Amino acid sequence: MKQYLKHDAWKIIEEGFTPANNRISESVFSIGNGRMGQRATFEEQYSGDTHQGSYVAGVYYPDKTRVGWWKNGYPEYFAKVLNAPSWIDIDVSIEGEVLDLAKAKVENFKRELNMQNGLLTRTFIATLPSGKRIAVDAKRFCSMADGEVGAIRYAITPLNFSGNLSVVLPVDADVENKDANYDEKFWEEIYKSADIDRAIVIAETKKTKFHVCTGINFLTKENDKVKPVVAKSETRDKYAAITFNYDLKENITFSIEKYAVVLSSENHKKDLLVSAAEQKLRSIKTEGFDRLFDAHQNNWLKRWQGADITIEGDIAAQQGIRFNIFQLMQTYTGDDERLNIGPKGFTGEKYGGSTYWDTEAYCLPFYLGTTDEKVARNLLVYRYKHLQKAIENAAKLGFTNGAALYPMVTMNGEECHNEWEITFEEIHRNGAIAYGIYDYIRYTGEEKYLTQYGLEVLIGISRFWAQRVNWSADKKKYVMLGVTGPNEYENNVNNNWYTNLIAAWTLEYTQQAIDFVKIDDKAAYEKLVKKVSFNEKEETAKWSDIRTNMYLPEDSKRGLYLQQDGFLDKELLTVDKLRKEDRPLNQKWSWDRILRSCFIKQADVLQGIYFFEDRFSFDDLKRNFDFYEPMTVHESSLSPCVHVILASVLGYKEKAYEMYLRTSRLDLDDYNNDTEDGCHITSMAGTWMSVVKGFGGMRVRDGKLYFNPFIPDQWKSYSFKVEFRGRVILVNVSKASTDIKVISGDPLEIIVGEEKELA
Amino acid sequence: MKQYLKHDAWKIIEEGFTPANNRISESVFSIGNGRMGQRATFEEQYSGDTHQGSYVAGVYYPDKTRVGWWKNGYPEYFAKVLNAPSWIDIDVSIEGEVLDLAKAKVENFKRELNMQNGLLTRTFIATLPSGKRIAVDAKRFCSMADGEVGAIRYAITPLNFSGNLSVVLPVDADVENKDANYDEKFWEEIYKSADIDRAIVIAETKKTKFHVCTGINFLTKENDKVKPVVAKSETRDKYAAITFNYDLKENITFSIEKYAVVLSSENHKKDLLVSAAEQKLRSIKTEGFDRLFDAHQNNWLKRWQGADITIEGDIAAQQGIRFNIFQLMQTYTGDDERLNIGPKGFTGEKYGGSTYWDTEAYCLPFYLGTTDEKVARNLLVYRYKHLQKAIENAAKLGFTNGAALYPMVTMNGEECHNEWEITFEEIHRNGAIAYGIYDYIRYTGEEKYLTQYGLEVLIGISRFWAQRVNWSADKKKYVMLGVTGPNEYENNVNNNWYTNLIAAWTLEYTQQAIDFVKIDDKAAYEKLVKKVSFNEKEETAKWSDIRTNMYLPEDSKRGLYLQQDGFLDKELLTVDKLRKEDRPLNQKWSWDRILRSCFIKQADVLQGIYFFEDRFSFDDLKRNFDFYEPMTVHESSLSPCVHVILASVLGYKEKAYEMYLRTSRLDLDDYNNDTEDGCHITSMAGTWMSVVKGFGGMRVRDGKLYFNPFIPDQWKSYSFKVEFRGRVILVNVSKASTDIKVISGDPLEIIVGEEKELA
């Protein structure tokens, strides 16, 4: 844990330069626009500890898998987010001295990320070894208005001298992934060119053959007035640059505006990349930094309108929640159904793949609540487009007849992960994908989605469940053996309650979907039946048998749902009995010890109760929460939010707030000592849920919006906005009152507490 | 499966050269002497498919572990048997043409391994591209009389020409392991020298710093008469050689005798290696090939005296059983307690480490039955010497107070394996190590072993079990959660019956051992108590509580011991229902599918019944055998022998014979299509047990020897010898009669069937 960032309602601020924190700051101050982004590394050269990382959404590399012991069915490769060609570098030398903060005396250093408008600013005064002092003001953004555009304004003021400045403005595709399994580089050069006013490199990923075309041009100014320079060009392998010299005059500010375009073959024909890049480069240079920034800023302001959460009386919490929302919004903008929410977004490259069950279980509600319905819908369509791959994935594991098992981790629909206990057994992810469809329709009311895409996915998943269970002659029930539930601190267990529950629910929901689609669009239904060779009578009869005879382990004496068979054989301890030096368990205990202990990594039975809340009584919830919560170590960042939501229902205000604190500033305060690798993007959605569904008690039932807010004692007031069926609703909660109103769109019946009101 | 080797009672014979089989033959024809050995690669150069492999016992390299996902507690490295410097090469050129069987026309090729005297012979006629024909007769052995000595006689007869022969006799330390995790070479040169009559290289292993000194000299003969040649020397990195030329005369046989010594720093001071090697080289050259071979042969003949098994009426079975015995005897001679029985012996380098639970569970009975008691005793002392490492290993996993967990795979006492479900959970190995002590004492009567070494090991293991169980408030029994039993087609199960049984038994046997040692040598006991801080009263009270309240899963309705909790939830199928294309399961099914199926890789409940036979009734055995046997796929080579033994007890003669067939010619017929990697050494002991304990029904009870033989219908007669407490007993079984007699040593009461007789 490190708390060196200043508290501010809208800004992340680092004052003073501490090289030891540099990598953490590089993660936290990352900027992106859904299409591309990069860590907050310096424009000028830096020989200290840094992790240069630029990323382009959807561009990945299938790195050869590394395993100790191969198991049949493992994927051949692990799709990795790629460290992409960099456009941010501005190499600066003054009278032959390189500007390098590792070698200069640095004063007045300030790094600032304005979350309201997505502008990264860095200012400092550097004294070079020769004694020359310069002031630098560097501003950078990745345009939210045009995902292929970025810009930097880098202003240098010589404070105690006049002298020659030498500048190199490169596009550098000679980059590597820190997490490469076999120390390979993943890019090859396809094209490069540089002349006096632009430099372009097209790099191709090995194997996947993505082309990324990165181009830059520039403009120079003296005290804000355009001041042309005589430029040259320079190229080497995977590298093209413009270089120039300029005579700095004492106290006269010289600015370099570097404009960049990043175009990928995902969105352009490969042979048109260069001309498209050139055209766009011309146009953005004409537009200029300020107008580009205006468009960018306006886009951010609009996004905040539907998504902001305010907290009064707790500036750290205010900053924390906005940081979470900011990161989510710049990671995924939802206008491309081929993209998804990577676990590190554009802030680092740890963990491969981009898509986990986090998307459906945690992120979907955030995007549903904060932006246009289309955004969440695209997340569903993403899975629809991967259905064939999910069927192939299941076939690899021996399933037949169109049964679909979605991957645990994926980039393109194929499985990337390779631990058998997760890859093959953590199959509850399939349930979350079905639940995502349900959750989307519940929120938006767009049942039509079932007809267009949803039912086909549901049939694939239901077929999987039907084959994955087996009849236990002993229990006279259907059982599901050898699974790993959401609580990954158990592996290969039998009858994980959550998994069995969501499997049975999927079978039921699929039946409802069939019933709906048959009425909604008979022809579409018949087409689908044919397409997937659906034997409705036989298959649904089997499904019905399974869901009514599914075994769900219980301790009826205590009124508990059992996480899995045999849970009560464990030594039932509570987290408060653990020694401090044993935490976190996954760094201190061997795996077998973790497995046989009762300690729970993340909500499991409670995740099930959260998903299907309406099926359980208050007393059910209370008994199970009181039993499982004290055993839960929350060593997954995805866990606390569910506990906040359930504790809120139970009126456990202190517990809810305690859990909330665990997530809201996870990265800002480097809680787990790993922020330097990148931020925990998907769990940020959990923080949002903690406020909106937890403290705010938001629910949708039968097409109606419910709130049941309370306010943590530590806060004066808080407010949040949600988008719901064409409206924006503003919820204001203070100690004294709750105020809920529709601030945009038609009036809406809203149920607060359990009292209805028209807002 | 490949059946190209000729059947012969004492020899393994390959006739005709089939390059596609070469690697298999290299494994099968391997020779060794307990200290060193090598694959049956050619002396002359061979550019075809080959796997050059020489090995020196006890010399290993800790290769950096390769894992997909690191788990806390994994070992940093994986100890590998090293491919060692080679002394067998004889590079031959005739008039500038290299002799290379991949490039010559080969006739009359014959490779023959005489198992009676451990001589490898290869003869062939090669026609070189130029048309020159030569006959070659190459003989090679690794001396059983002196483990540091090897010799080759390589005779060349030019059949249709006279001409210049050029010969290079190298020591080559520039070798590599095929299974290196990161393609590194593991040897560095420390010393080399070559002159006209000897070449020596000392190579050092990286990290472990073992020195291996390999030296050679030679003698040349013309038609069996010494014929000196003018030699030169040649060296390069990690390589030293003697070279010479000789004028071949048509139809005159020219022989090269290459003598080799292989000395390791395990047995010599590093700085004395060169002088020791030089001295030994001089002495063996003086001795000469024939006398060295005589000493070697006599040693083999003596070994066979106590160990041979004859089978009449089935030459394939006869050859198979002798091959198994031959390999076991040349892999481990038992005169060095630092050595153990590697899974591939000197026949290949697959699987790292040298010691698995195979040693105690399968190999110990073989060495007890076929050779001096000291041999088996050294296997026990090996574990005693690793006790501190086993305690450290357990401490890594969170155990305290001197609890010992022996590694799953080891070379020097440290764990090498890195799959959590095996490394951390397949803890029944600890029980086998305790059982080994019991089994040794049962056979030899040497209870004193407990006082000297045994009890200390037993206390360490018992302490482990006592901490590994936990009290289940639900079952009101001690349970053992999260283990992998002998059947590795189940992982992380609760209450594996076998593991719980052997744990409870260990606690009981440790108590008996305490009682014995206290009386046997009070002072030694007290010394031990102090050494290991043994709180006898408290610890044994706890042990007693655990063993009397240990949970052993049963199905009382059916009278079955349940392999683990929940076994009856599985779909209970039998192996005969599996499709052929699904076998072997571990190559065809994904791991989760294997895990949730009922199919059993190797004896598990039945292993327990076999170990503790006297505690179970005939009916118990029958019910469990009838239940589990049909589910067992025997995809471990260690499985069938236990089934042979139990089927024999039950009178299931056909089943016993069927199971026997699965192991006896496993490598000779390349049953699993993997003999090219090396032979399955440890399972060969199971083949021996199948005959002696299975068909022969040998048991030791209360210090008395029992036999209860039957003869498979397919055989005319069979006989075997066993060593027992200073005697050699010969058992002859024919269709008509059983004849058992002591052929060496004092008379002995032997119980046959259940009738006593004095033999």
pLDDT digits (tens, 9 = 90+) for B244-275: 999 999 999 999 999 999 999 999 999 999 99
Mean pLDDT of chain B: 95
Which residues from A are below 8 Å from B481, CB to CB?
A: 566, 569-570, 595-596
Dist CA B737 CA B733 (whole Å): 6
Q: How many CB atoms lie within 10 A of CB B315?
A: 13
The residue of chain B with its CA nearest to that of A417 is B68
Q: What is the pLDDT of residue A45?
A: 97
Q: What are phi and psi of B265, to 5 degrees?
A: -70, -5
Rounded to the nearest 10 degrees, what angle do helices B640-650 and B681-689 cross at? 10
Dist CA B702 CA B709 (whole Å): 20
Which residues from B are below 8 Å from A470, CB to CB?
A: 569-571, 596
Dist CA B411 CA B726 (whole Å): 31
Which residues from A are below 8 Å from B69, CB to CB?
A: 418-419
Q: CB distance A473–B568 less than 8 Å? A: yes
Dist CA A386 CA A317 (whole Å): 38
Please answer whether residues A320 and A12 qualify as being in contact, where contact means their C-beta atoms are separated by less than 8 angstroms.
no
* Closest-CA residue to B466 (of B579, B549, B530): B549
Q: What is the pLDDT of residue B718?
A: 98
* Radius of gyration of chain A from its Cα atoms, rounded to whole angstroms: 27
pLDDT tens digit sequence for B35-74: 999 999 999 999 999 999 999 999 988 887 777 777 887 8
Which residues from A are below 8 Å from B492, CB to CB?
A: 421, 491-493, 595
pLDDT higher than 80, residue B352: no
The residue of chain B with its CA nearest to that of A483 is B592
The residue of chain A with its CA nearest to that of B396 is A590
Dist CA B499 CA A420 (whole Å): 24
Any residues with CB less than 8 A from the CB of A285 and at least 6 apart, and which?
Answer: A217, A218, A219, A259
pLDDT tens digit sequence for B396-442: 999 999 999 999 999 889 998 888 999 999 999 999 999 999 999 99
Helix (H) or strand (E) holding B744: strand B738-744
Q: CB distance B481–A569 less than 8 Å? A: yes
Q: Is A602 annotated as a binding residue?
A: yes
Please answer whether residues A122 and A136 qualify as being in contact, where contact means their C-beta atoms are separated by less than 8 angstroms.
yes
SS3 string of B397-444? Answer: CCCCCCCCCCCCCECCCCECCCCHHHHCCCCHHHHHHHHHHHHHHHHH
Q: What is the pLDDT of residue A759?
A: 61
Cα maximum dimension of chain A:
89
Any residues with CB less than 8 A from the CB of A216 and at least 6 apart, and which?
Answer: A87, A169, A170, A171, A198, A199, A200, A242, A258, A259, A260, A261, A281
Q: CB distance A71–B591 less than 8 Å? A: yes
In a mutational test of the A interface, the residue from B476, B567, B590 whose CB has the highest number of chain A CBs within 10 Å is: B590
Please answer whether residues B491 and A591 qualify as being in contact, where contact means their C-beta atoms are separated by less than 8 angstroms.
no
Rounded to the nearest 10 degrees, what angle do helices B522-531 and B455-468 cross at? 40
| Residue listed under structure tokens 């029985």 | B341
Dist CA A665 CA A671 (whole Å): 8
* Long-range CB pairs of B385-391, under 8 A, 24+ apart, other chains included: B385/B337, B385/B338, B385/B413, B386/B410, B386/B412, B386/B413, B387/B456, B387/B457, B387/B460, B388/B413, B389/B413, B389/B414, B390/B460, B391/B460
* Closest-CA residue to B503 (of B570, B449, B435): B435
Q: CB distance B591–A472 less than 8 Å? A: no
What's the gap between Cα A444 and its chain centre? 22
Q: What is the pLDDT of residue A75?
A: 80
* Closest-CA residue to B370 (of B637, B3, B723): B723
Q: CB distance A595–B72 less than 8 Å? A: no
Q: CB distance B69–A419 less than 8 Å? A: yes
Helix (H) or strand (E) holding A420: helix A420-423
Mark the binding-site residues of B for substrate, compressed into ranges.
Answer: 357-358, 601-602
Q: Is B116 helix (H, G, I), strand (E, B) or coil?
A: coil
Closest CB to B596: pick one of A69, A482, A590: A482
Letter string b/e over residues B168-181, b meaning 16 or more CB atoms within 10 A of that residue's CB: bbbbbbbbebebbb
Active site residue B488: yes
Closest CB to B419: pick one of A68, A73, A473: A68
Whether ipTM tops 0.95, in short, is no
Q: What is the pLDDT of residue A68?
A: 72
Q: CB distance A566–B570 less than 8 Å? A: no
Lowest average pLDDT, out of A342-346, A429-433, B163-167, B733-737, goes to: A342-346
Per annotation, catalytic residue among A414, A415, A426, A488: A488
* Closest-CA residue to B509 (of B433, B603, B563, B609): B433
The residue of chain B with its CA nearest to that of A586 is B72
Dist CA A13 CA A3 (whole Å): 11
E strand map for A249-405: 254-264, 309-312
pLDDT band at B759; cut points 50, 70, 90: low
Computed from CA positions of residues A293, A299, A302, A303, in that sequence, does the dihedral angle turn out positive or negative? negative
Q: CB distance A419–B68 less than 8 Å? A: yes
In a mutational test of the A interface, the residue from B578, B592, B596 whose CB has the highest number of chain A CBs within 10 Å is: B592
The gap between the terminal CA atoms of chain A, to the nearest Å, is 43
Here the tokens at position B144 are 């059983």
pLDDT band at A212; cut points 50, 70, 90: very high
Average pLDDT over residues B194-220: 95
Closest CB to A591: pick one of B73, B471, B495: B73
pLDDT tens digit sequence for A492-528: 999 999 999 999 999 999 999 999 999 999 999 999 9
Here the tokens at position B9 are 């009672």
List, edge to edge, every strand of the sheet that includes A36-38: A31-32, A36-38, A54-56
The residue of chain A with its CA nearest to that of B73 is A590
Helix (H) or strand (E) holding A280: helix A273-287
Q: Strand A749-752 relative to strand A704-707: parallel, antiparallel, unpaired?
A: parallel
CB pairs under 8 A between A and B: 136
Percentages (nearest 5) of helix, strand, coil residues in chain A: 35, 25, 40
Here the tokens at position B395 are 């401490």
Rounded to the nearest 10 degrees, what angle do helices A387-396 and A455-468 cross at? 10
In a mutational test of the B interface, the residue from A492, A549, A552, A585 whose CB has the highest number of chain B CBs within 10 Å is: A492
List, edge to edge, every strand of the sheet that includes B31-32: B31-32, B36-38, B54-56
Which residues from B are below 8 Å from A473, CB to CB?
A: 568, 572
Dist CA A486 CA A422 (whole Å): 10
pLDDT band at B667; cut points 50, 70, 90: very high
Calculate the dihedral angle through the C-alpha atoms of A550, A553, A557, A559, rounding to the nearest 10 degrees.
-80
Cα maximum dimension of chain B:
89
Q: CB distance A569–B424 less than 8 Å? A: no
Average pLDDT over residues A273-292: 98
Q: CB distance A68–B71 less than 8 Å? A: no
The residue of chain A with its CA nearest to that of B78 is A68
Here the tokens at position A681 are 């993007």
pLDDT band at A207; cut points 50, 70, 90: confident
pLDDT tens digit sequence for B597-616: 999 999 999 999 999 999 99
Lowest average pLDDT, out of A49-53, A257-261, A753-757, goes to: A753-757
| Residue listed under structure tokens 């490295």 | B77
pLDDT higher than 80, residue B727: yes
Which residues from A are below 8 Å from B408, CB to CB?
A: none
Per annotation, catalytic residue among B112, B373, B488, B490: B488
Which residues from A are below 8 Å from B495, CB to CB?
A: 569
Q: CB distance A482–B595 less than 8 Å? A: yes
Q: What is the pLDDT of residue B758?
A: 63
The residue of chain A with its CA nearest to that of B569 is A472
Q: CB distance A72–B424 less than 8 Å? A: no
DSSP-derived secondary structure letter, B191:
E
The residue of chain B with its CA nearest to that of A567 is B474
SS3 string of B562-596? Answer: CCCCCHHHCCCCCHHHCCHHHCCHHHHCCHHHHHH
Dist CA B759 CA B755 (whole Å): 12
Which is the CATH superfamily of the domain at A11-304?
Glycoside hydrolase, family 65, N-terminal domain (2.70.98.40)
Q: CB distance B68–A66 less than 8 Å? A: yes
Which residues from A are below 8 Å from B473, CB to CB?
A: 568, 572
Which residues from B are below 8 Å from A491, CB to CB?
A: 491-492
- CA neighbours closer than 13 Å in the CB half-sphere of residue B481: 25
Dist CA B345 CA B338 (whole Å): 15
Closest CB to A592: pick one of B65, B420, B586: B420
Closest CB to B424: pick one of A65, A72, A591: A591
Q: Is A539 helix (H, G, I), strand (E, B) or coil?
A: helix
Which residues from A are below 8 Å from B475, CB to CB?
A: 569
Please answer whether residues A164 and A156 qualify as being in contact, where contact means their C-beta atoms are separated by less than 8 angstroms.
no
Q: Quick one: what percent of chain B has pLDDT higher than 70? A: 99
pLDDT tens digit sequence for A308-341: 999 999 999 999 999 999 999 999 999 898 999 9
Dist CA A406 CA A398 (whole Å): 14
Q: Is A63 annotated as a binding residue?
A: no
Q: What is the pLDDT of residue B757?
A: 65
pLDDT band at A758; cut points 50, 70, 90: low
Q: What is the pLDDT of residue A71?
A: 80
Closest CB to B419: pick one of A69, A481, A569: A69
Mark the binding-site residues of B, compressed into ranges.
Answer: 357-358, 601-602
Closest CB to A68: pick one of B418, B482, B491: B418
Average pLDDT over residues A125-154: 98
Dist CA A750 CA A742 (whole Å): 10
pLDDT higher than 70, residue A668: yes
Q: CB distance B470–A566 less than 8 Å? A: no
CA angle (B571 as vertex; B567, B576 as ends), nearest 5: 110
* Closest-CA residue to A655 (of A646, A663, A664): A646
